[in-house]
Amino acid sequence: KAEEMDAKEEDAADPQVGGLAPPSTSSSIRKRDQREASQKLKDADEAREREAAQAAADSITRLESWPAPPLPPLEPEEGEPATAMGEGPEGPASFDGSSKGTPPREDTPTLPVPSTPVQPLPLLLHQQQEGQEQEPAAAAEEGAKPSAVRAIGTDTTDTQTDPATSVTGAQPTVPSPPSPPPATQSSPPEPLPLPVHKDDEVIRLGDDPPARPGGEMLSAAAAPLASAAAAPEGDDGEWYSEPESESEVDPETDYVLKPHPSIPPPAGPLLIIILSGIAEAAAAGGAADPANRHNAVCAADTPALDAARAAAAAVGRLRTLRSHGAAVGLPATAGVAHSEASHLTLACGRALPQATTLVDAALASGALFRSPGWRHLRSAFTPPHTVHFIGLLSDGGVHSSVRHLTALLRGAAARGAMRLRVHVLLDGRDVPDGSSVTYIDDLEVELAALRAGGCDARVASGGGRMRVTMDRYQSDWSVVKRGWDAHVLGQAPHKFTDPLTAIIKLRGSEAAPVPDQFLEPFVIVEEDDFDDYQDDDTDYEDEEEDDSDEDKKEGKQRCSSSSSNMNRRGGGRSNRGGGNDRGGLPVGPIQDGDGVVLFNFRADRMLQFAAALEAPEGQFEGFERGRVPKDLRVVGLTRYDQATRVPAHVLVRPAPGRGQHVVGRYLAASGVSSLAVVEAGSAGHITFCWNGNRSGKLHDRLDQHIGVPSDKCEPGRLPKPRAAQVAAAVREALQGGQHRLIRVLLPDPDLAAHTGDMSGTARAIEAVDAAVGQMLSAVDSVNGRWMLTSDHGNADDMVQRDVWGCALYDDDMRPLPYPGHTNAPVPLLIGGAGLPDRVRFRRDLTEGGLANVAATLLNLLGFEAPDVYEPSLVAV
């Protein structure tokens, strides 16, 4: 009756219905106000949705220096080769690094709680109206601060939301409709729709929006990078094919340098010192300033560096450089600084696109799934073969990306792969320690969704990155052998029936857990082989004997709770763990004819394992491999070594010209002898990377290397600094006078900061300071010149922070250590007894980056820089 009365009042209020003026009753006014408020809320919701769609589009940075021609048709005509790898035949000369100011650190270590329902993650959310073509996205605004640990899975039920495989840039925060109620423990996982796709289509998992003209389905946010990855208009389709000779990679170039018109060559050598892990992030108050409480650089006593800084600043020879994002060829809003990108940029003299940027572009356009490397992999899609994915499970952005892994898994499943196995390497070095549980839990959700769609997808093996597989520069082949045994042979000292339980048990007690990066190797076995293992019998007999009963009970509950949560979401086989003393058939050893995808985009810590997979019988000396699977389809996300062409097949080629214009080639062609001095564990940064990711030497006589033995410490222990030994070798080389350029890398601050030990990092910095003082005095004694810089930050901020930048503490008010790199600017100083007083830094280049160092170095040697380099920073 009340509704009828309200209706009559509304009719009476409408002149076309009742013919009367609106009554001035409070009920009518209230109803009118309610309707107006409802309309305002509706309008506000629509505005927020439009803003969210625009934010998703703006989340990907447009690479404006790349050509952006129209995309070619995705379905080639008969007889025409497939198109596009992730780049054009001519890469960009540089990135647009004109961002203003210093962006905040983009590595907030929050650990999101994964969602309960089993649904695939939309890697990029966007909306597309039927009959309308998406507009290109605007460049993302620099300065976003994404979390260092992001979940792989999230919930959405919006049928207009397209989970595209666009994975570039930081993940946008997009409001989604209310999620469905959480699934109960007995609820089966929601099936993942896996439509049949041709290899020239972009992946679509879920409800696809209408296709664009020509059959292409791309989001607005993916359009800029897709355009960058497209083949040039009128191209014959062959430009992406693998080169057949070295001349196709490096065309003939005149590398002889011209003398500088106003800067004469130095009487002595030029010394460039690179301090790894030290950046300019200190507040003005120094060590006493509370803002510097977690800055190990401020905490250290550094008289030599302080004196050099003061002297350089007084005469205009001190400045800062950008070392992350577009300044080194990484995504502008999500490019966390790291050593490989920094040293490649230092050597190349320009910010060429790094591998992660090219992979983002190739995934955004779908070009990765049209590549020769993907076609090479397809023979392993059908039974009895398996496609294996091996790499670092992390979104730290230094070696790999979980977004790349997710896109590859979905791409393989959507294109017919029936059996997938993931071999996970756990981080805790570029992301907060302990985050491996989150990554594994979210990966299990993704794999469960693939299984529900008919694809047998599981985790097969794993271990910590510093103990398993990811050795670098041949420092310790036993690390690679542990990975070979676990991934290839299915053999490891620890066996479990699900990876979450494996991590929880291998980490041990919560009071003193084993760090993620040092976890021992493990394999996953079929649970049916554990006859005597009860569902509720998850014990901790491997725990320390002095653990209290309450600690053990808490560990049991935590393990059981995590496993149950995984089962509820379809992520695990059961809540049973697995004992180290129990046998079982491994679920995913690598067999003859299988496919292997190495999804690390960074070269140094995956090159040795790739070489072990591809080396023929009798031609591998790293370790005894045992069984070597035959006819493997090995594919790398990108090429790891340009000289040895490992791996032979790749999904995305490196940027053209990366090894062509490295500064070492110009120096060798001009008869300049150079020497690289570094401790052995980090030797590749200043040799391999400075050669354009090529092993060996650029010239047998003029390119020399000295490696100081690294400290062999126990896993997780603070390594002893080797700065004093490096300085001794440098002083001897300076006195010898045989080299005109000596480049030195001191990695001690970065290595120490990766352990999270701030006091130990401060001691390492003090050791480096003493070594720097000795080397600067030595170069002045021979009338030489010097440059002092860094490759990226790390020791300058060693605490986890929330989204507001506030330090995080545990329950006992101890700071939570952050072991990863920072994006703070790095210093650059020049000086020396042989440097003319008139040589100072230019004042018109306020946005300089590491790409400007090569031209500056050549000027200080008395040469003009090549035209392809970014401009020099010095003025005369």
Q: Which of 753, 746, 792, 761 is nearest to 279 (CA)?
A: 792
Residue-wise DSSP of 53-100: HHHHHHTS---TTS--PPPPPSSPPTTPPPP--SS-SS--S-------
Strand partners, 496: 524
Integer Cα distance of 4 and 1 in angstroms:
5
Cβ neighbourhood burial of 96 (10 Å; 0-12, 13-18, 19+): middle
Q: Which of 524, 380, 383 is nearest to 447 (CA)?
A: 524
Query: Within a 10 A sphere around the Cβ of 673, how many other Cβ atoms?
Result: 17
Q: Which of 654, 658, 473, 457 is nearest to 572 (CA)?
A: 457
Count of all residues that appear for the chain in the document = 876
Q: Give Cβ neighbours of residue 323 (< 8 Å, ≥ 6 apart).
A: 279, 337, 342, 790, 791, 792, 793, 823, 825, 826, 849, 850
CA–centroid distance for 488 within its chain: 25
Query: Within a 10 A sphere around the Cβ of 28, how many other Cβ atoms?
Result: 16
The pairs formed by 305-312 with CB atoms below 8 angstroms and a separation of 24 or more are 305/769, 305/772, 307/773, 308/772, 308/776, 308/788, 308/829, 308/831, 309/827, 309/829, 311/831, 312/829, 312/830, 312/831
Tell me whether residue 509 is one of the annotated catalytic residues. no
Three-state SS letters, 796-820: CCCECECCCCCECECCCCCECECCC
Q: Which of 723, 726, 738 is nearest to 768 (CA)?
A: 723
Q: Which of 444, 519, 442, 470 is nearest to 149 (CA)?
A: 442
Integer Cα distance of 749 and 754 in angstroms:
9
Integer Cα distance of 391 and 748 in angstroms:
26
DSSP E strand boundaries for 740-845: 741-746, 785-793, 826-831, 840-841
Element (H, E) at 390: strand 387-393
Integer Cα distance of 225 and 223 in angstroms:
6
Query: What are the phi and psi torsion angles at 875 (to 5°)?
Result: -125, 150
Measured CA to CA in angstroms, residue 577 lies from 125, 188, 496, 777 at distances of 36, 21, 6, 60
Write down the catalytic residue from 94, 99, 339, 790.
339
Strand partners, 646: 641
**CA angle (757, 763, 767) in 5-degree steps:** 140
Cβ neighbourhood burial of 446 (10 Å; 0-12, 13-18, 19+): buried
Catalytic residues: 339
